Structure 1
Amino acid sequence: MLAVAQIDYIRHEVNQKGESYADVSRRVEVDPRTVKKYANQEEFRERKPQKRYSPVMGPVKPIIDKWIKEDFKKKKKNHRTAKRMYQQLKKFHSFKGSYRTVRDYVSKRKKALNEYDQEAALPLEAVPGTAQVDFGTAPFQYGGNVIDLPFLVLSFPYSNTFYFQVFPSENTECLLEGLSRMFRYMGGVPKTIRFDNLSPAVKKIKSKGERELTDTFERFVLHYGFHYEFCNPGKGNEKGHVEAMVKYVRNNYLLPECVITDLDQFNKTLWELAEEDRQRPHYQKKVLQSELFTEDKNEWLVLPEKDFECVRYQDIKADKYGFIAIDAKQYSTSPRFAKQRVKVCISYNMITILTEDHDVIVRHQRLYGIKRQSMVWQPYLDLLAKRPKAIKYSSLYDQFPEEWSSYLKSCTEEEQKAALRLIGKLLKNNDFTLLNQALALSSKHGHPHVDQIKHCFYSLLNQSNTHMSVPTGKNVPKIPDMTRGLSHYDAFFHEGGAEK
C-alpha cells in the first residue's frame, strides 16, 4: 500500500486537477493502474461554484454546475463526461448550443471549482457540511450498578445540530464504530471533521503541528474521504461547538441516570432524540435548525459502497493454558493452542480468535470494567473429560463456579470424567445458572451421582417436580458418612499408616 501522503497527492492531482493517470503515475513512479485504483477509491472536498452569465449557456449553467458538483462527491470513474452532459441537456432541457460550447464550459468550470477555496478562509462554524467530534461521560444504571460511560458526539456547527451514541469505552474501535454508524444513518459523510487530539486517532504530535495517526484511523479517513483537522494542544476552544454540545446532550438527555439493559438497543432510541431537537430555532439565525441541517446535508460527501470494518488485528501468543491478554483482560482460546500464536480480531464489542488461516477458534464478548477474564468452556471440557487429572490444566478447576469447583475436587477420577462430560453436554452459552441450581438441589442428601444431577437439571429445565419424588421417609436406612475422592489415602500415608 502506498504512503498516505502519496495517496493524498494522487487523489488531489487526478480528482481535483483532472490530471491523467499516466501523468501522475510518472510523477509518483508507480503503475498507472495503481494511480487509478487509489484515485477512484476515495472522494474529495467539493468546491462552491462561481456563477457567470452567457447568452447560450446561461440557462443551463446552473444545471451543469450541479452535475459537476455532484460528480466531485463520487469516484472519478463515475463522473459524467462533457459529451454525456451535452446529450442530457439536449434531451431534457431543450438546449440549442453545440457540444463544443458545453465541452469548453465544463473544462473551464471544473478548473475554476478546483481552485475555488473559499472554505479555507472561513471559520468552521460558518461552513455547511462540516462537523466536530468529541467524547463526553455521563452516569448510567447498567448491569445493576451506576457507572460512568462515555458517549460520542458528532456536532454540526453550521446548523447547531448533533448525533450521539453511548459506548463502553473511548478506545479506537468505539470511536470508529460510532462515526461509521452515524455516517450510515445520515446517508453521507461530513466533508471536514475537526477532532481533539484523541489517543484513538493520534499516536503522536510532532513538531510544526504534524500528527502521526494510528493505523486504523488513517485507513478510516482514506475509506470515507473526509478532510480531518486537529485542535492545537491545549486549545479546546477550537472545537468549542462540540464541547458545548456534549454538555447540552448530557444535561437534556442523559440526566438523571438512564437505565440500560441492552446498549445497542438503547443507542437505537437516540437517533429520534437528535432529530426532534432540530425542530427549534437557531439561537442566532432565527430559522429552524432542521432547515439549516438540510443545507449541511446537501454538502456531505457520498457514502462509500461498503462500510468500513471497524476492527484491528493482532498476533498474540497464548500462555500455557491457552489464554491471551488484550488490554489487561484474559480470553480463553483452546488447550491445543497453548503457547501458540493466534490472530485476534478486535471490535468494540467482540474478541474473535482465529487460526493463521483465519478460521474461527472461539468468540468472546469484549470485556470492560472490573471483570478480568472471559472463559469459553467447551474446548477445555473435551480435554478435561479425557484427562481430568492433567497437571497442566489442574488450575482450570478454579475457573469453574465455586459450587462445581468444590464438587469436582471431591470426586474420584471416574466421577470427574462423568461430571465433565455432563457439563460439556448441558452447558449452553457458558451459562452455569441452571447447572448450579441442579447441583445444589441434588446435593441436599449428600454427594450426588452424575445421574442425579442430570435428573435435577432436566426437571428444572422442564419446570417439573419429579426430583421431589425420591422417598425420604423413616423407612430409608441411615447411610454412614463416607469420604469421597482420594484425600484419605494422602492422610493415611502422611500419618505413617503404611508402617502400621
Structure 2
Amino acid sequence: MLAVAQIDYIRHEVNQKGGTYSSVARKMELDPRTVSKYANQEEFPVKKPQKRSSRVMDPVKPILDKWIREDLKKKKKNHRTAKRMYEQLVKFHSFEGSARTVRDYVSRRKKELKEYIEGASLPLESIPGTAQVDFGTAPFLYESEIIDLPYLVMSFPYSNSFLFQVFPSENTECLLEGLQRMFHYMGGVPTTIRFDNLSPAVKKIKGKGERELTDTFERFVLHYGFSYEFCNPGKGNEKGHVEAMVKYVRNNFFLPECTIVDLDQFNETLWQCAEEDRNRPHYLKETLQSELYKEDKKEWLILPEKKFECVRYQEVKADKYGIINIDNKEYSTSPRFAKQRINICVTYNSIIVLNEERQVIVKHSRLYGVKRRSMNWQPYLHLLSKRPKAIKYSSLYDQFPLEWSNFLRDCTEEEQKEVLRLLATLLKNDDFTLLNEALELASSHGHPSADQIKHCFYSLLNQGTSYEAITPRLNVPTVPSATRGLSHYDAFFQGGTSE
C-alpha cells in the first residue's frame, strides 16, 4: 500500500496533467500497472487491522471471558484462579496450550473488563443489569376507608420493565424490605441502582455530590454489593425512567382504587402483574421486553447466601405505665419496665420489645395511620388483678375494649379480681374477639360471674352456639310420694346393692 502523498501525486500527474502510466512509473520507480491501479481507483476504504489468529487460544477465549464475567459478580475470595481455569480447560475442553498462555490472557482480560466497567460513562438506560428506584402513591380501599399508600417501584431501563410492591410507609424499613423482596424474587442484584435523595437512604447531602448515608442503608449496600447513584438535588429527570414507570404502574394497576384485605397477599399478586406486562414490544428496540429482561438478568450480581436483617435496634425509656413511644406511636411493654430503658427491634411491620438477653417480651404490629396506641394486655393483667382500685380510673383502664371497660366498672372489687385473673388465663395474643363474644353471651342472663364467662368462652371455643346452665348428669332414682310410715322408704334405694 502506497502512502497517501504518493497516491495523490499519481492521480494528479495522470488525471490532471495527462502524464502516461509509463512516464509517471519511471519518475516514481514503480510498475506502470501500479500507477494505473491508483490513478483509476474509485474507493479508498479504511484498512482494517489484521487480527492474528491463535489456533489454540481462540476456541477457548469465549469460555474464559464467560468465567471472568461470572467471577466479577462474586466476592473476590470466590473468584477462580488462572491456574484453576487452565485445569478446567484441560479437563473439560481438551485444551492443548500452556498454563502461562492462559494466565497471561486472564490477567489482560480482567484488566480490560475492569477498566471498561470503571470508565463506562453511558447512561443507565443503555446498560443491561442496572436499575432505578423510587416511591409513588396511589389510593386504596384499606380497612373500609380510602387512603393513600406508597408503593415502591424498581425499573430496569434497558428492558423497560419493572417490579413493584405496596407498603404502609416510605420509611427505611419499608424501603429495604421492598428492595430485598425484589432481589430475591429476581434471583439477583442489579449492578448499579440510581435513587432520588430518599430520606430513608440519605441522611445528609454534602458538597461535591457527596452523601452521608443512613447506617442501615449503608450496611444493606455492603451486604448486597451493588453500586449506588443519587440524583442531584432538584434533578428528578436524572431518574426519568423510574418516574415514568411510577406513573405507568399507577395508571395501569392501581386505578380505580384497589381493595386490600391482607397487604402481604395483595403484594404476592403484583409479581405476576409485572411479569405479564413484559410480554409487549419495547417502544424502540422492536423486541419483546421479556427478551431484553433476560439480557438484564445475565448481568445481575449473585445473591449473598443470607438475607439482610431489615431491622433497626434502639433503646427507649418507658413511662410510668411501661408505655414506649416509637415514631409518635405508643406501644405497651410490661409494668416491670416502668420508667426503665428498654431495647426494641423495629421492622417494617412490627415493634418487638426485648429483654437484656435479647429475648422477645412483647411483639406489636407496627402502627401506621391515625391509630396511636397498641396495647398488649397480657403482661398487665396479673398486676391489675391484685390492685383493681389503683388501676380503675387510670388511662390504662380505658384502653380495654369498650365492652370490658363497662363491665368491669359495674363489678365489685372482688369480682374485678376474679375477672382479671380469668382474662390473664384466657387472653392469647391480645385477641379479645372470642372473649368479647363470651361476655356478650354470658351477659344475656344478667350481670355474669367469672365462672359463667369462662363457661361461655369454652363453649364458643368448642363451637357451641348456645348458653346452657351446667347441670350434673347423675342417675338419681325417682323419689316416691310422701306417705305416712316407712313402708315406702326402701323404694328410694331401688336398684341399690344391699350389704
Q: How does the TM-score come out when normalised to structure 1?
A: 0.81
CA-CA distance at 1:57 after TM superposition: 1.5
State the match for 2:458 in structure 1: 458
State the match for 1:317 in structure 2: 317
Structure 1 residues 442 and 76: alpha-carbon distance in aligned structure 2, compared to 1, 3 A threshold: same
Structure 2 residue 238 is the aligned partner of structure 1 residue 238: yes
Output aligned runs, 1:130-145, within 5 Å.
Answer: 130-145=130-145
CA-CA distance at 1:67 after TM superposition: 0.7
CA offset digits 1:355-402 (Å, max 9, x no partner): 122011111111111111111111101221222233599432111112
Q: In 2, Cα distance between the equivalents of 1:372 and 1:53?
A: 74
Q: In 2, Cα distance between the equivalents of 1:201 and 1:338?
A: 34
Q: In 1, Cα distance between the equivalents of 2:187 and 2:119?
A: 23
* Secondary structure, counterpart of 2:342 in structure 1: strand
State the match for 1:174 in structure 2: 174
Q: In 2, Cα distance between the equivalents of 1:130 and 1:239?
A: 12
CA-CA distance at 1:62 after TM superposition: 1.2
Q: In 1, Cα distance between the equivalents of 2:467 and 2:121?
A: 80
Q: Give the aligned length.
A: 421
* Secondary structure, counterpart of 1:379 in structure 2: helix
State the match for 2:60 in structure 1: 60
8 A Cα contact 2:378 2:428, kept in partner: no
CA offset digits 1:10-53 (Å, max 9, x no partner): xxxxxxxxxxxxxxxxxxxxxxxxxxxxxxxxxxxxxxxxx985
CA-CA distance at 1:463 after TM superposition: 4.3
Q: In 1, Cα distance between the equivalents of 2:116 and 2:163?
A: 30
State the match for 1:475 in structure 2: none
* Secondary structure, counterpart of 2:154 in structure 1: strand
Q: In 1, Cα distance between the equivalents of 2:245 and 2:173?
A: 22
CA-CA distance at 1:145 after TM superposition: 1.3
State the match for 2:407 in structure 1: 407
Structure 1 residues 207 and 339: alpha-carbon distance in aligned structure 2, compared to 1, 3 A threshold: same
* Secondary structure, counterpart of 1:389 in structure 2: helix
Output aligned runs, 1:124-163, within 5 Å.
Answer: 124-163=124-163
Q: In 2, Cα distance between the equivalents of 1:279 and 1:364?
A: 42
CA offset digits 1:206-227 (Å, max 9, x no partner): 1112111111001011111111
8 A Cα contact 1:317 1:342, kept in partner: yes
State the match for 2:183 in structure 1: 183
Q: In 2, Cα distance between the equivalents of 1:392 and 1:311?
A: 37
Deviates more, 1:162-171 or 1:138-147: 138-147
Structure 1 residues 191 and 392: alpha-carbon distance in aligned structure 2, compared to 1, 3 A threshold: farther
Output aligned runs, 1:190-201, within 5 Å.
Answer: 190-201=190-201
Counterpart residue identity of residue 127, structure 1: I
State the match for 1:371 in structure 2: 371
Deviates more, 1:391-400 or 1:281-290: 391-400
State the match for 1:288 in structure 2: 288
Deviates more, 1:222-231 or 1:449-458: 449-458
8 A Cα contact 1:138 1:148, kept in partner: yes
Counterpart residue identity of residue 269, structure 1: T
Q: In 2, Cα distance between the equivalents of 1:465 and 1:64?
A: 73
Counterpart residue identity of residue 419, structure 1: V
8 A Cα contact 1:163 1:274, kept in partner: yes
State the match for 1:90 in structure 2: 90
Structure 1 residues 446 and 110: alpha-carbon distance in aligned structure 2, compared to 1, 3 A threshold: same
Counterpart residue identity of residue 157, structure 1: P
CA-CA distance at 1:262 after TM superposition: 1.0
State the match for 1:100 in structure 2: 100
Q: In 2, Cα distance between the equivalents of 1:433 and 1:322?
A: 25
CA-CA distance at 1:442 after TM superposition: 3.0
Counterpart residue identity of residue 293, structure 1: Y
Q: In 2, Cα distance between the equivalents of 1:293 and 1:382?
A: 59
State the match for 2:225 in structure 1: 225
* Secondary structure, counterpart of 1:447 in structure 2: coil
Structure 1 residues 117 and 453: alpha-carbon distance in aligned structure 2, compared to 1, 3 A threshold: closer
8 A Cα contact 2:391 2:397, kept in partner: no
- In structure 2, runs of 5+ residues without a counterpart are 1-50, 472-499
Q: In 1, Cα distance between the equivalents of 2:259 and 2:119?
A: 43
Counterpart residue identity of residue 237, structure 2: N
State the match for 2:429 in structure 1: 429
RMSD: 2.0
Q: In 2, Cα distance between the equivalents of 1:52 and 1:78?
A: 33
8 A Cα contact 1:388 1:394, kept in partner: no
State the match for 2:495 in structure 1: none
CA-CA distance at 1:228 after TM superposition: 0.3
Counterpart residue identity of residue 450, structure 1: A
State the match for 1:278 in structure 2: 278
State the match for 1:380 in structure 2: 380
Structure 1 residues 246 and 119: alpha-carbon distance in aligned structure 2, compared to 1, 3 A threshold: farther
8 A Cα contact 2:438 2:460, kept in partner: yes
- Determine what percentage of the aligned residue pairs are the same residue: 76
CA offset digits 1:306-331 (Å, max 9, x no partner): 11111111111111101111111111
Q: In 1, Cα distance between the equivalents of 2:220 and 2:300?
A: 17
Counterpart residue identity of residue 454, structure 2: K
Q: In 1, Cα distance between the equivalents of 2:469 and 2:187?
A: 63
CA offset digits 1:94-137 (Å, max 9, x no partner): 21111111111112222222222476321110011000000011
Q: How does the TM-score come out when normalised to structure 2?
A: 0.81
Structure 1 residues 387 and 249: alpha-carbon distance in aligned structure 2, compared to 1, 3 A threshold: same
